[in-house]
A and B are shown apart, each in its own frame.
Chain A
């Protein structure tokens, strides 16, 4: 019971964090069809900017200003780089953002060094919110989840209930029609890219204070973010929320379970034979928990490429 509750809670909160990072990517991918490889780099930049700003001013200034700085960088990239290579096709846009990943990672290493920096949450946020089976549960974990939830609600309302959302969705579905109606479509793209970058920056600023802030954080999250976007479905916000939670809970449970294919065979009386095979068959789930998201992505890509909530395109 203890394992079940703690794993679910941790999984849900990790899932919410994943959602925070991937929400921006979902938006960008859905709009422009560009898989922005540098998206996780925006997350890292957010964390580092917030670290610097929280040292200079305070934590909240970092939390608010860092995403804005990241948004500016994002808009610069969209305006002066992506738009430039747009004529050469999506592959080129993909490759360009792919190159930017190296530049951002190396710049961070240049300025902050090749080791984790000490980005800490303020003391007054550093308390236990409740006691779970004898262990204190940190409030900040819940805080991350709450910020993500707030973000989802704001985004959802903005996109489905307001005029801005209407224009954005129109520019995504039928750019030419939107242009004919007098909307500045390139400007919308610029705004969406900036907003997407800002969301990644915000999640970096929030999560960096809890998880280690180091130059590898973009690499660690980079591929998982794609998994979320693909599993959730092209441009579907709700889909990426579900996918994030799914992956969060799956990986949090997988870490604690020592099931293997052999134990599965054991249920039908073939346990000894399976154990004698060794290799993959006897590998416990806990040791291959990092594999689970990729397996999930592979299955989704092959069975339902539009993703869980994506419309068939």
Chain B
């Protein structure tokens, strides 16, 4: 616990000190990562702690964004004085109301049907928004200017960054504090066994509405910060893409742990920032990462880290070192092969390349990994195979070894494999 606190304080210090030294591009990327982190943490209150999988959380994010844009416009035209610093409060309030209303209906159902109600609500807004000009500004959306307040001009990205950082830190702090309250415990109990909650005399439906509304409220803050940073919002904030992204962030990070979604959101949005500048296929890589996490680490990155921290005294680190190193190497080989194939296809199948071939009549070499490759040279296509096949083989071996080492030292939970079978498997290798 003490280490965790130190780590968080160190990270916070870094987030305060580092940005002035970075360019505007990175500052903007950090703003987006922070907003994504808050959104994922708010979403996880509903999904990870309340056990209610929503596919339409973009609705409350978007409501927050549009509330703030409207308010900013009023401030800009001098109708109402409202400090820019406190704008997210308005987004929070309206999202809380919308969340309570939507939550009332959505929480009448559970499981897949709950997910579908949230999806339908968000789609309803998304299909309505472009036609409702006064409210959502039609297809173009609405925009406004940040007004100076409390001595800040909010003209530079850096000032917006610090505003975002403060709000995100406060909100994540509040969300964490929430998990420590009795009501937070009740939320967890709701996920584990709703029937029992009802049996103990609590109002399950009411509790669910409150959890939904609070989650919507913090999503609204995230949306507000997005609106402040972009100074604009259009109907696409309601799109399935936005709802999808928060699901991706949360589950890659790991929904069972409080900090999992925050880690997932930061890692993936910075990944997007870096990779989308290099290749068009960044969405493909993100999809592959998500599916791999779902398949091999169902509790996400956070779950893997937590398992290691919990078992740190029981694990035979010395014997694990070799298979871990092997797994890393093999993983890199497979990743290299995949990236090589995707990048090659992206170049060779592009319109520009086809046009160049038609113009010059020859298949020019292309560059991947800072080296030139001939399209029809056998080595070009042998190269990924040479990486992929041994890579996959080594990965399998390394993971089998890691699995046995983990299972052996885990006395409480011996996995699904009986000891005798385990001996047999090890003998065979």
Compute how far the CA of A281 lies from the CA of B247 in the bound complex, rounded to whole angstroms.
Answer: 34
CB-contact partner of B128 in A105, A106, A113, A291, under 8 A: A291
CB-contact partner of A94 in B112, B281, B349, under 8 A: B112
B interface, CB within 8 angstroms of A: 53, 105, 108-109, 111-113, 115-117, 119-121, 123-124, 127-128, 131-132, 134-135, 240, 244, 247-248, 251, 280-281, 283-284, 286-288, 290-291, 294-295, 298, 342, 345-346, 349-351
- Indicate whether A99 reaches chain B with its CB closer than 8 angstroms: yes
Q: Is the CB of B115 within 8 A of A94?
A: yes
Chain B residues near A84: list those with CB within 8 A.
Answer: 295
Q: Is the CB of B121 within 8 A of A96?
A: no
- Indicate whether A283 reaches chain B with its CB closer than 8 angstroms: yes
Q: Is the CB of A107 within 8 A of B240?
A: no
Chain B, residue nearest A89 (CB): B298
Known: A103-B287, A301-B113. 10 other contacts (CB 8 A): A95-B294, A101-B287, A102-B286, A103-B288, A103-B291, A113-B351, A222-B240, A298-B120, A302-B105, A305-B113
Compute how far the CA of A294 lies from the CA of B59 in the bound complex, rounded to whole angstroms.
Answer: 14
Q: Is the CB of A113 within 8 A of B349?
A: yes
Q: Is the CB of B351 within 8 A of A96?
A: no
- Indicate whether A158 reaches chain B with its CB closer than 8 angstroms: no
- Indicate whether A226 reaches chain B with its CB closer than 8 angstroms: yes
Chain B, residue nearest A100 (CB): B291
Q: Is the CB of A99 within 8 A of B294?
A: yes
Quote the shortest CB–CB distance from B381 to chain A (angstroms): 16
Given A111-B349, A288-B128, A305-B113, also A106-B287 (CB < 8 A)? yes
- Indicate whether A98 reaches chain B with its CB closer than 8 angstroms: yes
Query: Could you list some 25 contacts between A and B, CB below 8 A?
Result: A33-B112, A35-B112, A35-B116, A85-B294, A88-B298, A91-B53, A95-B247, A98-B244, A99-B287, A103-B284, A105-B283, A106-B281, A110-B284, A110-B346, A222-B240, A223-B123, A223-B240, A227-B120, A279-B135, A291-B127, A298-B105, A298-B124, A301-B109, A301-B117, A301-B120
Given A113-B349, A223-B119, also A90-B287 (CB < 8 A)? no
CB-contact partner of A96 in B127, B135, B295, B345, under 8 A: B295
Q: Is the CB of A302 within 8 A of B112?
A: no
Chain B residues near A92: list those with CB within 8 A.
Answer: 294, 298
Q: Is the CB of A99 within 8 A of B291?
A: yes
Q: Contact flags (1/0) for A279-307 with B, using CB distance below 8 Å? A: 11001000110110011011001100100
Compute how far the CA of A96 lies from the CA of B240 in the bound complex, rounded to whole angstroms.
Answer: 16
Compute how far the CA of A84 lies from the CA of B240 in the bound complex, rounded to whole angstroms.
Answer: 27
Compute how far the CA of A103 lies from the CA of B119 in the bound complex, rounded to whole angstroms.
Answer: 21
Quote the shortest CB–CB distance from A111 to chain B (angstroms): 6
CB-contact partner of A294 in B115, B123, B248, under 8 A: B123
Quote the shortest CB–CB distance from A42 to chain B (angstroms): 16
Quote the shortest CB–CB distance from B257 to chain A (angstroms): 16
Q: Is the CB of B294 within 8 A of A280?
A: no
Quote the shortest CB–CB distance from B70 to chain A (angstroms): 14
- Indicate whether A278 reaches chain B with its CB closer than 8 angstroms: yes
Chain A, residue nearest B287 (CB): A102
Chain A residues near B108: list those with CB within 8 A.
Answer: 302
Compute how far the CA of A84 lies from the CA of B134 in the bound complex, rounded to whole angstroms.
Answer: 49
- Indicate whether A230 reaches chain B with its CB closer than 8 angstroms: yes
Q: Is the CB of B284 within 8 A of A294?
A: no
- Indicate whether A219 reaches chain B with its CB closer than 8 angstroms: yes
Chain B residues near A279: list those with CB within 8 A.
Answer: 132, 134-135
- Indicate whether A81 reaches chain B with its CB closer than 8 angstroms: yes
Chain B, residue nearest A292 (CB): B127
Given A111-B349, A278-B134, also A102-B283 (CB < 8 A)? yes
Given A81-B295, A96-B291, A301-B117, also A283-B131 (CB < 8 A)? yes
Chain B residues near A287: list those with CB within 8 A.
Answer: 131
Compute how far the CA of A295 lies from the CA of B121 in the bound complex, rounded to whole angstroms.
Answer: 8
Compute how far the CA of A8 lies from the CA of B291 in the bound complex, rounded to whole angstroms.
Answer: 42
Quote the shortest CB–CB distance from B162 to chain A (angstroms): 34
